[in-house]
């Protein structure tokens, strides 16, 4: 190895919804909103809460841009594995369920980037208390991966009213779980996300729940 492995910018503090508890710990990896979302829709771009954070807090976008640059490197997989292993070996994570949210902001922006994450997820497939959680619109990049077979991955397709026919067809073909946003729960027949406390709710991390919606806010 020609250079030392380094720790990547993985958020261990959680956020307003991903709140660490005495039983659950969250890790979060973020990328810039919009520019890393090749399958974004007009509706999701207009309602993008991740972009709001970039505008409100000056430190947010530079950190996400740095992560994006790191994700392009040949050492990304090795560095991410090293970072996760170092974090979860700490005392604060022992005996806890660890949920790694891939992209609170941003999305899987290329096939190569998806392949890197699949390699990382497979590396940790025998770590019983660690689960990776990903919402995504970048479904074409997952065609060659049987994501439903990974016991340590909560994979869910992000759907809006203007989601493309291509993505809707892929969801039907692979029977992907879906998370969507609705104006009102009045006519919604699936599970409801109140967007308050992910550690206690964990519906999105439950692969037996097929359809979840939140109200647009």
CATH number of the domain bearing residue 97: 3.80.30
Rounded average pLDDT over 85-113: 96
The pTM assigned to this predicted structure is 0.92
> Is 13 a member of any domain?
no
> Is 141 a member of any domain?
yes
Q: Could you tell me if residue 34 is left (phi over 0), alpha (psi between -120 and 50 degrees) or otherwise beta?
A: left
> Is 3 a member of any domain?
no
The CA distance from 88 to 83, in Å, is 9
> Is 42 a member of any domain?
yes
> Is 144 a member of any domain?
yes
Model pLDDT, residue 217: 64
Model pLDDT, residue 38: 96
State the DSSP H helix or E strand holding residue 66, giving kind and residue range, or none if neither: helix 60-71
Model pLDDT, residue 195: 64
> Has residue 205 got a pLDDT over 70?
yes
Rounded average pLDDT over 83-107: 95
Enter the tokens of residue 201: 């709710």
Q: Sheet containing 211-215: which strands, arranged edge to edge?
A: 24-29, 97-102, 130-136, 153-159, 178-182, 211-215, 191-193
> Is 18 a member of any domain?
no
Predicted confidence band at 2 (pLDDT cuts at 50, 70, 90)? very low
> Is 162 a member of any domain?
yes
Predicted confidence band at 3 (pLDDT cuts at 50, 70, 90)? low
The CA distance from 35 to 198, in Å, is 26
Total structural domains within the chain: 1
> Is 193 a member of any domain?
yes
Distances from the Cα of 20 to the Cαs of 10, 72, 92, 96, 214, in angstroms? 14, 29, 10, 10, 21
Residue 31 contacts residue 51 (beta carbons within 8 Å): no
> Has residue 162 got a pLDDT over 90?
yes
Structural domain of residue 32, as residue ranges?
24-215
What is the b/e burial string over 117-140, where b = at least 16 CB atoms within 10 angstroms of the residue's CB?
A: bbebbebbeeeeebbbbbbbbbbb
Model pLDDT, residue 193: 85
């Amino acid at each position: 190895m020609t250079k030392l492995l380094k720790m990547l910018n993985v958020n261990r503090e959680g956020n307003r919804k991903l709140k660490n508890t005495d039983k659950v710990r969250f890790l979060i990896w973020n990328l810039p909103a919009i520019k890393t979302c090749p399958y974004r829709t007009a509706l999701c771009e207009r309602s993008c809460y991740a972009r709001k954070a970039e505008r409100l807090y000056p430190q947010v976008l530079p950190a996400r841009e740095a992560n994006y640059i790191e994700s392009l490197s040949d050492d990304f997989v090795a560095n991410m594995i090293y970072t996760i292993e170092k974090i979860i070996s700490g005392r604060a994570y022992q005996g806890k369920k660890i949920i790694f949210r891939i992209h609170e902001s941003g999305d899987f922006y290329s096939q190569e980037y998806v392949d890197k994450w699949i390699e990382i997820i497979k590396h940790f497939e025998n770590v019983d208390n660690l689960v990776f959680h990903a919402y995504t619109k970048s479904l074409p990049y997952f065609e060659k991966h049987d994501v439903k077979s990974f016991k340590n991955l909560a994979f869910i397709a992000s759907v809006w009213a203007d989601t493309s026919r291509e993505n809707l067809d892929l969801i039907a073909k692979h029977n992907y779980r879906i998370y969507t946003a609705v104006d009102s729960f009045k006519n919604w027949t699936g599970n409801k996300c109140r967007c308050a406390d992910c550690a206690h709710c964990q519906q999105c991390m439950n692969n037996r729940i097929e359809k979840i919606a939140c109200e647009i806010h």
